[in-house]
Chains A and B, each alone.
Chain A
Amino acid sequence: MKLDARRDPAAGDTRNDHDLVYAARDGDTIAFDALFYRYRDGIFRLGLAITKDPSAAEEIVVDTFARAHRALARLEPDASLRPWLYRVAVNLSYNRRPRKGLVLSSLDDAVDEAVANEDGSPSHVAEQAELRRFVLAAVDQLGPKHRLVVMLHYLNGLNLTEIAEVVDCPVGTVKSRLHYALRRLRTHLAAHPELGIEPSRPLIATALRAPKPIAAPVPLEGE
């Protein structure tokens, strides 16, 4: 972003999305560029997480903003354009998902690239990379709806309300999906000893171990 700000004044635009959309509607290209610089990385990461293909993720960024440009006259953002853009990006990403049997570079490669830049002993770096790969593999095993909620929250940093806007469902449904996803992940991640997660016990077992509430003894009849 700093590099972009040096090259392009639009990257450092501090106006909110509402003002930028209205300015872009009047033909202000700098305002539209400012929106582009603000959200392009997030959309790229989301597209990369779903398609696992960097070039496809870049095309998703371009297509998303092309759609936004065409829809400028209809857009009415309250404060942030992010949920609308992410919803378009999610739809485009699922349309471009790789077919079965087609192996593309996964998120693991991105992890490797990121970890390679970290400082520390080689063994520590390798351990960290292995741990991250393990967690991401567990995320990949989730269903598409649950994986999307996890990615939107942990990768893109959206809160539950924003996720609800992106996936177009109530906040309660988002909470339920995230809860289910975390429970499933707990089951998977418990296999790794370094994470320190206990395996989930069956519900009956936990219910039996539950501390019974202290209650006054019920007097028997005739006492």
Chain B
Amino acid sequence: MKLFSRGCESRQAAYLVGADRLGARERIELEAHAASCAECADALRNGRPVDVALRGAFAPLRERRTMIAPGRVRLAVGPRSAAATNSWLRAPRFFGRLAEVSVMVGVTLFAVTTSLDPSPQPSSLTPTQSVVREYFRAQPPLGDIDYVRWLRLVKADASSTVSDSTRLPMGGRFDYDPVEYATGPGATPR
């Protein structure tokens, strides 16, 4: 079995005396503890030279400087980000883009709507079917001349419609006066 000893808990504080900013009271307490603890006394005694050696070794490096100008950062960031900070500078670009998009949408809608076939729409001007109006239209006009015209038109319509249905006698008579054809020998032209 292997045992790992944790050692004194104050040893870390003893090593970090140089790095950690201990108050005067804490330091006195640590030194008082180190007087009775060999481990902490050893850490306190040897931690300081290590700290001094490190500070001495890094001292010339701390003086090292660079001559980079902030212009290199601006160059790396680019000009666009400078404009991006101010929203007003982006307004012309935004409105230009908005105009482009509106024109594009308008042209597309125009092309789509004109390419479609006009569908037959029920017109509101078309008169609706009315039984009363049809009845009065079927009645003969009251004027003499109009009546004659109407009669001729009605007769022409009736003659144009040829019905192939079987004519049946109604009450011993035909439903209209039969045309008499003069076919006999006594028939003479007028």
Asked whether A203 lies within 8 Å of B7 as measured between CB atoms, the reply is: yes
**SS class, residues of chain B in contact with chain A:** helix
Name the distance in Å between B40's Cβ and chain A's nearest Cβ: 10
Q: How large is the interface on B (under 10, 10 to 19, 20 to 34, 35 or more residues)?
A: 35 or more
**Is A169 part of the binding interface, using a Cβ–Cβ cutoff of 8 Å?**
no
Given contacts A175-B20, A182-B15, contact A62 B49 (CB under 8 A): no
Chain A residues in 8 Å Cβ range of B81 = 69-70
Asked whether A210 lies within 8 Å of B37 as measured between CB atoms, the reply is: yes
**Is A170 part of the binding interface, using a Cβ–Cβ cutoff of 8 Å?**
no
Chain A residues in 8 Å Cβ range of B55 = 154
CA distance A6 to B94 in the complex (A): 42
**Is B57 part of the binding interface, using a Cβ–Cβ cutoff of 8 Å?**
yes
Asked whether A27 lies within 8 Å of B76 as measured between CB atoms, the reply is: no
Asked whether A69 lies within 8 Å of B64 as measured between CB atoms, the reply is: no
Option from A10, A61, A195 in Cβ contact (under 8 Å) with B66: A61
CA distance A189 to B56 in the complex (A): 13
| A126-169 interface bits toward B, Cβ cutoff 8 Å, 1 = contact, 0 = none | 00000110011001000000000011011101011000000000
Chain B residues in 8 Å Cβ range of A102 = none
Asked whether B57 lies within 8 Å of A136 as measured between CB atoms, the reply is: yes
**SS class, residues of chain A in contact with chain B:** helix
Option from B42, B45, B50, B61 in Cβ contact (under 8 Å) with A45: B61
Chain A residues in 8 Å Cβ range of B66 = 40-41, 44, 57-58, 61
Option from B19, B68, B76 in Cβ contact (under 8 Å) with A178: B19
Given contacts A44-B65, A155-B62, contact A27 B19 (CB under 8 A): no
Chain A residues in 8 Å Cβ range of B36 = 211, 213
Asked whether A185 lies within 8 Å of B50 as measured between CB atoms, the reply is: yes
**Is B12 part of the binding interface, using a Cβ–Cβ cutoff of 8 Å?**
yes
Asked whether B64 lies within 8 Å of A48 as measured between CB atoms, the reply is: yes
Which positions 72-94 of chain A face chain B at CB distance < 8 Å?
72
Chain B residues in 8 Å Cβ range of A182 = 15-16, 19, 47, 50-51
| A11-33 interface bits toward B, Cβ cutoff 8 Å, 1 = contact, 0 = none | 00000000000000111010011
Q: Name A65's closest neighbour in chain B (CB-CB).
A: B73
**Is A179 part of the binding interface, using a Cβ–Cβ cutoff of 8 Å?**
yes
B-side interface residues toward A, CB under 8 Å?
5, 7, 11-12, 15-16, 19-21, 36-39, 42, 45-47, 49-51, 53-58, 60-66, 68, 70, 72-74, 76-77, 81-82, 85-86
22 A-B pairs in the complex with CB atoms less than 8 angstroms apart = A10-B70, A29-B74, A32-B73, A37-B70, A57-B66, A58-B66, A65-B73, A110-B60, A114-B60, A114-B61, A131-B56, A150-B54, A154-B55, A155-B58, A160-B20, A179-B11, A182-B19, A185-B54, A197-B49, A198-B45, A206-B39, A210-B39
Q: Nearest 5 CB-CB pairs, A to B? A: A114-B60, A135-B57, A210-B38, A44-B66, A65-B73
